[in-house]
């Protein structure tokens, strides 16, 4: 949920027509071409090194934020509303370039925080503190809390207490092959449930077990469906996504002074037609895109947002490597499609993440037989593909170890988190 560069005062460009908005969405959200780049966004919970169960006082957290902002990092550094730290890589020409660059930045961040007595933890939700207070008070987050709060407490928890690993991959090519954008769009929504189950890492929230292996995913399920659901994965992606964007209520209308307006129920399409409370322009549409949070978000590339943050210093590398291998290698992509095809019947017609398949993935992880079978097949395909896409022995070994430790046993990281609640 990195705040975009256009999140401030609106630029006041020429007003946008409904037809122009549709054309713009079709052009900017699915940019097609041979897959060439990969990126990742890593979110982390910041905690006290001496005892992570102790909340970090706001003053110490603010000082830490100021310190980390001075580091010469390659990745973009941002902070989430609850103080979670996020590193967003630049688009990289290869998997290893992405991993190596993020690893170097992460080492620098950890060293700077350690000098202040703070550390980073990778869990899908904060296992110790709920609710966390919001530490960023900006018009965007003020509006977001109001809008997401209309459906209950899950919105604040998602904003302030959750963390993820997000993988960003090119949308794909025009055409019917395994790297075609239509097939990649559909694959992402079925494979996404497997990734939720395999990497579930949030069974404890605020010191209590929740009954979910991925409580983070359960929170997303409880959010406003118009903002957190995916449009149909079976139709034409450009048309389905453009309609979804225009028919979703706006989160806010930015203003030059004072708090931003937070209308209720005003879709972007209605805003274009009525020009109220002011005329909307192309920058407003681009900003509106950043306020939609489906599990797969097209932003020129595909942003896969369903993976819980992972524990350990390098645990985050495994989901990035696995997902990249399954999408970037044509042989692995076809194997993944075959492996997840039976899951379509379990998902049913409802969109992710509210359909039965995604709920089972978040609750049961790989104890579910269908998800376990699919996970074993896609991990095997990824392991075969990693050397072909240039993955180093250390990365391939980490994936193999995760495969043996969890996937082959029908388990996930959440199954080992018994002690965190104590």
What are 131-141's pLDDT values in tens digits?
A: 888 988 899 99
Name the DSSP class of 30.
Answer: B
pLDDT digits (tens, 9 = 90+) for 196-252: 999 999 999 999 999 999 999 999 999 988 899 988 778 899 999 999 999 999 999
User: What mean pLDDT do residues 339-349 have?
Assistant: 95
End-to-end CA distance of the chain: 30
CA distances from 253 to 13, 21, 144 (A): 14, 17, 12
The pLDDT value recorded for residue 133 is: 82
Distance CA 175, CA 192 (A): 22
Alpha-helix residue ranges (DSSP H) falling in 199-267:
215-221, 225-228, 237-246
On whether residue 183 sits in a domain, the answer given is: yes
> Contact 108/69 with Cβ under 8 angstroms?
no
The pLDDT value recorded for residue 266 is: 97
On whether residue 186 sits in a domain, the answer given is: yes
| 120, pLDDT greater than 80 | yes
Distance CA 3, CA 141 (A): 10
CATH no. for residue 217?
3.30.590.20
| 49, pLDDT greater than 70 | yes
pLDDT digits (tens, 9 = 90+) for 395-410: 999 999 999 999 999 9
As a whole number, the mean pLDDT across the chain is 93
> Contact 148/158 with Cβ under 8 angstroms?
yes
Distance CA 356, CA 358 (A): 6
Q: 3-class SS at 269?
A: helix
On whether residue 369 sits in a domain, the answer given is: yes
Q: Which of 153-162, 221-230, 273-282 has the lowest mean pLDDT?
A: 221-230
Q: 3-state SS of the chain: helix, strand, coil percent to 5? A: 45, 15, 40
pLDDT digits (tens, 9 = 90+) for 323-335: 999 999 999 999 9
| 286, pLDDT greater than 70 | yes
Please report where in the chains the tokens 């930015």 appear, as a residue. 254
pTM value?
0.94
Task: Give 10's pLDDT tier (boundaries 50, 70, 90).
Answer: low
| 7, pLDDT greater than 50 | no
User: What mean pLDDT do residues 150-157 have?
Assistant: 93
The pLDDT value recorded for residue 32 is: 87
| Structural tokens at position 164 | 């993820």
Distance CA 171, CA 303 (A): 9
CA distances from 278 to 5, 11, 201, 203, 257 (A): 22, 13, 44, 45, 14
The pLDDT value recorded for residue 111 is: 97
Distance CA 251, CA 411 (A): 38
User: What mean pLDDT do residues 30-47 have?
Assistant: 92
| 6, pLDDT greater than 80 | no
On whether residue 173 sits in a domain, the answer given is: yes
pLDDT digits (tens, 9 = 90+) for 359-375: 999 999 999 999 999 99
Domain that holds residue 405: 32-224+296-409
**β strands within 132-180, DSSP E:** 164-170
User: Which of 171, 294, 154, 316 has its CA nearest to residue 232?
Assistant: 294
Task: Give 29's pLDDT tier (boundaries 50, 70, 90).
Answer: very high
On whether residue 176 sits in a domain, the answer given is: yes
Backbone phi and psi for residue 202, each to the nearest 5 degrees, phi listed first: -150, 60
Distance CA 405, CA 126 (A): 24
User: What mean pLDDT do residues 256-285 have?
Assistant: 94
On whether residue 371 sits in a domain, the answer given is: yes
The pLDDT value recorded for residue 1 is: 39
| 5, pLDDT greater than 60 | no
Structural domain total, the chain: 1
On whether residue 268 sits in a domain, the answer given is: no
| H or E stretch covering 38 | strand 38-48
Distance CA 118, CA 83 (A): 12
On whether residue 111 sits in a domain, the answer given is: yes
The pLDDT value recorded for residue 336 is: 98
The pLDDT value recorded for residue 239 is: 93
Q: Which of 178-182, 202-206, 313-317, 386-390 has the lowest mean pLDDT?
A: 178-182
Q: Which of 44-58, 151-165, 274-288 has the lowest mean pLDDT?
A: 44-58
């Amino acid at each position: 949920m990195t705040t975009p560069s256009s999140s401030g005062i609106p630029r006041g460009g020429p007003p946008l027509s409904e037809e122009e908005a549709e054309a713009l969405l079709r052009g900017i959200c699915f940019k097609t071409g041979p897959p060439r780049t990969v990126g990742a966004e890593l979110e982390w919970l910041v905690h006290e090194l001496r005892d992570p169960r102790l909340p970090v006082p706001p003053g110490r957290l603010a000082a830490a934020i100021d310190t980390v902002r001075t580091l010469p990092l390659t990745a973009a550094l941002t902070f989430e509303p609850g103080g979670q730290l996020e590193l967003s890589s630049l688009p990289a020409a290869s998997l290893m370039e992405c991993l190596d660059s993020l690893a170097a930045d992460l080492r620098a961040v950890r060293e700077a925080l350690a000098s202040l007595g703070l550390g980073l933890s990778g869990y899908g939700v904060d296992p110790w503190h709920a609710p966390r207070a919001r530490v960023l008070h900006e018009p965007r987050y003020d509006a977001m809390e109001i809008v997401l709060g209309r459906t209950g407490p899950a919105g604040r928890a998602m904003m302030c207490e959750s963390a993820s690993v997000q993988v960003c991959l090119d949308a794909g090519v025009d055409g019917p092959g395994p790297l075609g954008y239509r097939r990649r769009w559909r694959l992402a929504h079925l494979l996404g449930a497997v990734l939720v189950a395999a990497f579930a890492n949030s069974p404890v929230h605020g010191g209590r077990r929740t009954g979910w292996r991925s409580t983070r995913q359960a929170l997303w399920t409880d959010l406003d469906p118009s903002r957190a659901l995916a449009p149909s994965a079976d139709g034409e992606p450009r048309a389905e996504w453009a309609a979804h964007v225009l028919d979703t209520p706006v989160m806010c209308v930015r203003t030059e002074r004072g708090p931003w307006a937070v209308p209720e129920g005003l879709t972007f399409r209605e805003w274009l037609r009525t020009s109220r409370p002011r005329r909307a322009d192309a920058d407003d549409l681009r900003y509106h895109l950043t306020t939609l949070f489906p599990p797969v978000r097209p932003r020129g590339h595909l942003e896969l947002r369903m993976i819980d943050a992972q524990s350990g210093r390098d645990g985050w590398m495994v989901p990035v490597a696995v997902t990249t291998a399954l999408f970037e290698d044509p042989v692995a992509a076809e194997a993944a499609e075959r492996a997840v095809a039976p899951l379509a019947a379990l998902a049913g017609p409802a969109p992710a993440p509210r359909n039965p398949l995604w709920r089972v993935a978040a609750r049961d992880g790989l104890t579910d037989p269908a998800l376990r079978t699919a996970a074993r097949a896609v991990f095997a395909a990824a392991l075969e593909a990693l050397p072909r896409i240039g993955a180093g022995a250390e990365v391939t070994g980490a994936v193999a170890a995760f495969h043996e430790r969890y996937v082959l046993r029908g388990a996930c990281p959440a199954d080992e988190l018994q002690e965190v609640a104590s």
